[in-house]
Chain A
Amino acid sequence: MQILLDIASWLLLIAGSSFALIGAVGLIRFPDVYSRMHASGITDTLGAGLILAGLMVQGGLTLVTVKLILIMVFLLYTSPTSTYALANAAYSRGPQPLLGKRESETPSPVTPENEPS
């Protein structure tokens, strides 16, 4: 039984870490501020969610699991709020979004507007 729980928890942890990693890759590959926010959204939701789920399996039916659930709830309320603040600020004062189709092997050429810092 313990071994099954361990396997389930490890699968969840690995899946969560993979999504966090995919979010990081997207952060590098996407062309501008706004599209990069979508990539960080993956790390925020499924990445963090699956890692916490994996830890909950380790925690079992204890107060630790309750605290992990509450961490998840706080994360789900605060992360969209901060993303909204960032997006709103960027749209008001920062670079305007790059729109339209952009299928290419490499990201769009670096110009002063979208130069990664």
Chain B
Amino acid sequence: MLHAISLGIVLYGTWLLFSGIYTPLLMGLGAASCLAVVGIAHRMDVVDREGHPIHLGWRAITYWMWLTIEIVKANIDVARRILDPKLPIDPVMVTLEASQGSELGQVIYANSITLTPGTVSIRVSENTILVHAIATALADDLKSGAMDRRVTAMEGPGPRRLEDMG
């Protein structure tokens, strides 16, 4: 129920921001469509912790700020490699441990790896992620596990697997 209310608020907020025309007719139509979408989403059984992860809260915001800095650093590193006449790359494949308890956490971790240029996650298995890195140095950064720990910390305590979420 909490998730349904929050989804409705988010949807209506998005409607108001996108429309920019605040007449009773359009605001009423917006409210009606938001209600319809929440109803359909409820019937599809996707209004849960995974589809609408409000439980991440502020931890998600601080994580995004940290990730943005990492993305900028990685961008500069890879841009240097591209512009270097010698093209100093030594691609490697590494398998990383993913310590996240939930599938949502693993998706966040795998997507964060892909978002930082120079590393792309290729395959997500049970508790490991296969990663292709453009240089050994970038793979070693990931192996140190700093990003893994941050994602796990952001995910916080909670149901460990999708089946347990009820």
Contact = CB atoms under 8 A, between A and B. Distances in A.
Interface of A: 19, 22-23, 25-26, 29-30, 32, 34-35, 37-39, 41-42, 45-46, 63, 66-67, 70, 76-77, 79-81, 83-84, 87-88, 91, 97-105, 107
Given A42-B78, A63-B18, A76-B115, 16 more contacts: A19-B75, A22-B79, A23-B82, A30-B89, A32-B91, A38-B119, A39-B82, A63-B17, A83-B120, A84-B114, A87-B122, A99-B90, A99-B93, A100-B92, A103-B86, A104-B86
B65 interface: no
B118 interface: yes
B6 interface: no
B87 A97 contact: no
Contacts of A79: 114-115
Given A91-B122, A97-B91, A45 B75 contact: yes
A83 B82 contact: no
A114 to B, nearest CB: 12
Interface residues of B, number: 37
20 contacts: A26-B78, A26-B82, A30-B82, A34-B122, A35-B91, A35-B132, A37-B132, A38-B117, A41-B117, A42-B79, A46-B75, A63-B18, A67-B17, A80-B114, A84-B110, A99-B90, A99-B93, A103-B88, A103-B89, A104-B86
Specify which of B75, B121, B123 lies most central, judged by the most chain A CB atoms within 10 Å of its CB.
Answer: B75
B157 interface: no
B57 interface: no
Interface in B80-125: 81-83, 85-93, 110-112, 114-123
A37 B75 CA distance: 13
Contacts of A45: 71, 75, 115, 117
A83 B114 contact: yes
A103 B87 contact: yes
Contacts of B134: 30, 35, 38
